[in-house]
């Protein structure tokens, strides 16, 4: 008996706790997956993947829709878990889940249309061929998720990877493993046959083990610094990856904008989720004529926002305690360089909470303008016109989302197109993330690859091209008996088709 107990203790797996950031209470305990456990999960996933890929489109669609309705039936329970692990208000958690559900629905309903085999025009030189393209699943996708939107963000990869016919190994952030576990077990209830979606828990080294395991693609969402490490780990097996990284999103406000709407959207975009949003508003560029009026309206709205853990709070604590230091450093740096706190300031840091902060006249080279703050703060800068706003917004290593508030639709559209960000919303914030058919992702330090929409489905596939000869070719070119006559005919035809002069 003693021996058995002793052996059990020797083999006890390493574990870690998930903790409520507002109360420091332990929520649950999870095993730390090492390389061996990740590899074993990958072995199970490979079998599950071939079963899942073998189902027809309708079967996969029905199961994904069943998962979606399961999430909406138990939205209260899942939202409670999100609230407990991240500290965000329950309604914000519900909003996040509702958005995720829309993506599961879209991916399930559109996978066949986007990915199934279709004919492609063969072109004049290959008229005797029938040509086809289809998008086949890659196999097993490793999804590495962040803690700030523990449902919406990973579902943006998981739902599309599953709908495309892949199995998934999901490593949630060590801060939100219970939410990850809930998502995986709810999927297991509607797809009990095989472990098509599995949970892999642990901290950074577990994510690294997943990136090294030989999965067929990694869908990473997190900071730019970690993306670099994941990419290095992926390089060993030439494992491709999507990197959805941080942002420093700007709002541009033109002189003819609806200032109430602009201030309202900016305030929400800056403080919701305590500013811990990759597409949260961190910078605002306002055209001179309306600068003061905008600041007044923004101050009025942001000063009403309250951080707390109670049901009426507008937003919760900093989920990751160390993030408060980054926010504090950015405010200090802005003030030291001559910036002005229009609302709040250093005193706004009340760990684990941070009150809303508006900074004005902050020099462009300060960290509050250049780096991701990830707190309920904004910098507001004066610009002479919308075009200067675009240039200043673009002068940043990040380029994820962005927003334009303007009355003139033509000007707003031109500014939106000129912004280097992957996504732009006109006259509202983050609307692009709520349209499932639109691609989501950034450029520069914000990463590469796209989730959501048809691009998001194709990210988890490999294109397969097939040609089928329908009749003998008029010119037989791919033979060792090719004649000079055939070559002459080819050159005559090519000159006819492509010889026209262009200037
Ligand atoms: P991190 O980069 O710290 O972590 C992201 C994930 O990577 C976590 O699961 C983490 O595990 C894991 N990880 C950490 N180290 C490694 C490693 N060496 N190899 C593999 N995986 C590793 O980001 P956060 O969780 O702090 O998330 C916040 C960041 O995510 C912000 O920059 C935010 O802008 C960005 N983000 C981007 C989004 C987008 O769509 N572009 C959406 C949401 C957030 P663990 O947490 O256990 O350490």
Centroid of ligand 1 to alpha carbon of 403 (angstroms): 24
Rounded to whole angstroms, how far apart are CA atoms 68 and 163? 12
Dist. CA 54–CA 59, nearest whole Å: 10
Contact 261, 405 (CB under 8 A): yes
What pLDDT score was predicted for residue 277? 96
Measured distance CA(259)–CA(429) in Å, rounded: 14
The pairing of beta strand 167-171 with beta strand 197-199: parallel
- Which of 97, 104, 118 is CA-nearest to residue 62? 104
Residues 294 and 233 in one domain: no
Q: What is the DSSP letter of 338?
A: T
Residues 6+ apart with CB under 8 A from 125: 493, 494, 497
**Same domain, residue pair 277 and 135:** no
Closest CA to 65 of 104, 110, 112, 116: 104
CB-hemisphere CA count at 13 Å for 108? 19
CB atoms within 10 A of CB 189: 11
In a domain, 9, yes or no: yes
d(CA 45, CA 47): 5
The whole-number pLDDT of residue 10 equals 47
**353 closest CA partner among 388, 390, 305:** 305
Q: 31 to each of 208, 211, 458, how far by Cα in Å?
A: 16, 18, 33
**CATH number of the domain within which 208 lies:** 3.40.605.10
pLDDT along the chain (503 residues), means of 10: 36 86 94 98 98 98 98 98 95 96 98 98 92 98 97 98 98 98 98 98 98 98 97 98 98 98 98 96 98 98 95 92 95 97 97 97 97 98 98 98 98 98 97 96 98 98 98 89 93 92 88
| Domain presence at residue 486 | no
Both 234 and 285 in one domain: the answer is no
Q: What integer pLDDT is reported at residue 8 of this predicted model?
A: 36
For residues 239 and 126, state if they share a domain. yes
Is residue 124 domain-shared with residue 156, that is, in the same domain? yes
- Secondary structure class of 233 (helix, strand, coil): helix
Residues 125 and 257 in one domain: no
Q: What is the pLDDT of residue 12?
A: 61
Sequential DSSP letters for 396-454: SSEES-EEEE-S-HHHHHHHHHHS-SS--EESSSSGGGG-TTS-B--EETTEE--BSHH
| pLDDT for position 4 | 34
Q: What is the pLDDT of residue 7?
A: 36
Please calculate the CA angle 244-248-251 and round it to the nearest 5 degrees: 120
Range(s) of the domain holding residue 170 = 2-245+452-462
Together in a domain, 235 and 374: no
Q: Name the CA radius of gyration of the chain, rounded.
A: 26
CB-ligand 1 contact for 230 (6 Å cutoff): yes
Q: What is the pLDDT of residue 474?
A: 82
Pocket probe mutation, ligand 1, options 143, 204, 211, max atoms within 8 Å of Cβ: 204
Same domain for 65 and 163, yes or no, is: yes
| H or E, element range at 357 | strand 357-360
Nearest CA to ligand 1 atom 25: 146
In a domain, 262, yes or no: yes
Q: What SS3 state is found at 480?
A: coil
Find out whether the beta carbon of 401 lies less than 6 Å from any atom of ligand 1: no
Paired strand residues for 403:
251, 425
Domain stop point among 436, 470, 493: 436
Report the domain count for the chain: 2
Cβ of 339 closer than 6 Å to ligand 1, yes or no, is no
Beta pairing class for 249-253 and 281-287 = parallel
Residue 203 CA, ligand 1 centroid: distance in Å: 10
Supply the pLDDT for residue 1. Answer: 31
Provide the Cα torsion 105, 109, 110, 112; round to 10°: 140
- List the catalytic residues: 244, 278
Q: Using a 6 Å cutoff on CB, does residue 438 contact ligand 1?
A: no
Q: Do 343 and 400 lie in a common domain?
A: yes
State whether 296 and 232 are in the same domain. no
Extract the tokens encoding 211.
């990136």
Do 233 and 276 lie in one domain? The reply is: no
Please tell me the total number of residues recorded for the chain in this structure: 503
> What spacing in Å lies between the alpha carbon of 84 and ligand 1's midpoint?
19
Max Cα-Cα span within the chain: 90
**Contact by Cβ (8 Å): 135, 464:** yes
Residue 28 belongs to some domain of the structure: yes
Sign of the CA dihedral running 435, 438, 443, 448: positive
Ligand 1 pocket test, pick from 88, 103, 146, 221 with the greatest ligand atom count within 8 Å of Cβ, gives 146
Q: Is 302 in the pocket of ligand 1 (CB under 6 A)?
A: no
List of E strands, 113-237: 118-120, 129-137, 140-144, 167-171, 197-199, 217-221
User: Does residue 241 sit in the same domain as residue 274?
Assistant: no
Q: 242 pairs with which residues across the strands?
A: 219
Backbone angles phi, psi at 127, to 5 degrees: -60, -25
- Ligand 1: centre distance to CA 228 (Å): 11
Does the residue 274 lie in any domain? Answer: yes
| C-alpha closest to that of 103 among 418, 437, 406 | 437
Beta-bridged to residue 440, according to DSSP, are 451
Cβ-defined contacts of 184-191 (< 8 Å, 24+): 186/67, 186/70, 186/71, 186/74, 186/78, 187/67, 189/70, 190/63, 190/66, 190/67, 190/70, 191/52, 191/63, 191/67
Please check whether residue 503 lies inside any domain of the structure.
no
Residue 319 Cβ inside 6 Å of ligand 1? The answer reads no
Beta carbon of 290 within 6 Å of any ligand 1 atom: no
CATH classification of the domain holding 331: 3.40.309.10
How many beta carbons lie within 10 A of that of residue 35, not counting itself? 14
Residue 359 CA, ligand 1 centroid: distance in Å: 27
């Amino acid at each position: 008996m003693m021996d058995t107990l002793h052996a059990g203790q020797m083999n006890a797996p390493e574990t870690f706790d998930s903790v409520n950031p507002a109360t420091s209470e332990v929520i649950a305990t999870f095993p730390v997956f090492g390389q061996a456990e990740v590899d074993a999960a990958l072995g199970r996933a490979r079998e599950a993947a071939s079963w899942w890929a073998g189902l027809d489109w309708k079967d996969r669609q029905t199961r994904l829709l069943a998962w979606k309705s399961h999430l909406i039936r138990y939205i209260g329970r899942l939202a409670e878990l999100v609230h407990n692990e991240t500290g965000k208000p329950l309604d914000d958690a519900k909003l996040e889940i509702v958005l995720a559900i829309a993506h599961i629905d879209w991916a399930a309903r559109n996978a066949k249309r986007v990915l199934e085999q279709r004919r492609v025009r063969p072109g004049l030189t290959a008229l005797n061929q029938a040509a086809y393209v289809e998008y086949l699943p890659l196999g097993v996708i490793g999804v590495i998720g962040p803690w700030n939107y523990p449902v919406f963000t990973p579902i943006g990869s998981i739902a599309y990877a599953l709908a495309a016919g892949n199995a998934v190994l999901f490593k949630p952030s060590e801060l939100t493993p219970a939410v990850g576990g809930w998502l995986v077990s709810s999927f297991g209830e509607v797809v009990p046959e095989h472990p098509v979606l599995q949970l892999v828990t642990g901290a950074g080294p577990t994510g690294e083990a997943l990136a090294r395991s030989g999965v067929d693609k990694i869908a990473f969402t997190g900071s730019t610094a970690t993306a670099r490490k994941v990419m290095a780990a992926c390089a060993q097996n030439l494992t491709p990856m999507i990197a959805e990284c941080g942002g420093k999103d700007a709002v541009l406000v033109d002189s003819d904008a609806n200032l109430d709407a602009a201030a309202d959207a900016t305030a929400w975009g800056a403080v919701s989720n305590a500013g811990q949003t990759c597409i949260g508003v961190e910078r605002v560029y306002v055209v001179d004529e309306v600068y003061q009026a905008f600041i007044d309206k923004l101050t009025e709205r942001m000063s009403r926002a309250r951080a707390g853990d109670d049901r009426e709070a507008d937003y919760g604590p900093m989920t990751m305690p160390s993030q408060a230091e980054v926010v504090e450093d950015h405010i200090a740096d802005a003030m030291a360089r001559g910036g002005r706190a229009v609302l709040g300031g250093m005193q706004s840091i009340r760990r684990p909470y941070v009150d809303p902060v508006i900074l004005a006249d902050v020099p462009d080279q300060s960290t509050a303008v250049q780096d991701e703050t990830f707190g309920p703060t904004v910098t507001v800068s004066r610009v002479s016109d919308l075009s200067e706003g675009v240039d200043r917004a673009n002068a940043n290593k990040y380029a994820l989302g962005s927003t334009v508030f303007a009355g003139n639709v033509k000007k707003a559209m031109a500014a939106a197109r000129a912004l280097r960000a992957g996504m732009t919303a006109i006259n509202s914030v983050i609307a692009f993330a709520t349209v499932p058919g639109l691609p989501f992702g950034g450029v520069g330090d914000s990463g590469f690859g796209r989730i959501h929409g048809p691009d998001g489905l194709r990210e988890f596939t490999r294109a397969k091209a097939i040609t089928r000869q329908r009749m003998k070719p008029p010119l037989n070119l791919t033979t060792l008996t090719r004649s000079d006559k055939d070559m002459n005919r080819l050159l005559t035809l090519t000159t006819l088709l492509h010889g026209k002069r262009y200037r």
